[in-house]
């Protein structure tokens, strides 16, 4: 065995560590983007509900007259 293998810092281990770290970073970034998109969707849905309520109220007034 070589000395590098005993210490545990061979090239393959460093490459695997880099791949795992970058994968973890990508997962965290995608989770953040997912949460941001979910918040935007909830805001859009709430605005749509308010707009629908206004539309229904205006049509009720027109139908009564």
pLDDT, one tens digit per residue, over 40-50 is: 999 999 999 99
Task: Give the CB-side neighbour count of residue 14, counting CA atoms within 13 A.
Answer: 6
**How many helices (DSSP H) and strands (DSSP E) are in the chain?**
2, 0
pTM: 0.66
Q: Are 10 and 4 contacting, i.e. CB atoms less than 8 angstroms apart?
A: yes
Question: Regarding predicted confidence, which is higher, 52 or 6?
Answer: 52
Q: Are 34 and 28 contacting, i.e. CB atoms less than 8 angstroms apart?
A: no
Contacts of residue 10, defined as CB under 8 A and 6 or more positions apart, other chains included, come to 4
């Amino acid at each position: 065995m070589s000395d590098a293998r005993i210490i545990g810092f061979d090239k393959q281990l460093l490459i695997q560590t880099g791949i795992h770290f970058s994968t973890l970073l990508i997962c965290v970034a995608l989770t953040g983007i997912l949460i941001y998109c979910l918040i935007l969707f909830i805001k859009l849905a709430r605005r749509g509900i308010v707009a629908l309520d206004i539309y229904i109220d205006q049509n009720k007034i027109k139908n009564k007259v």
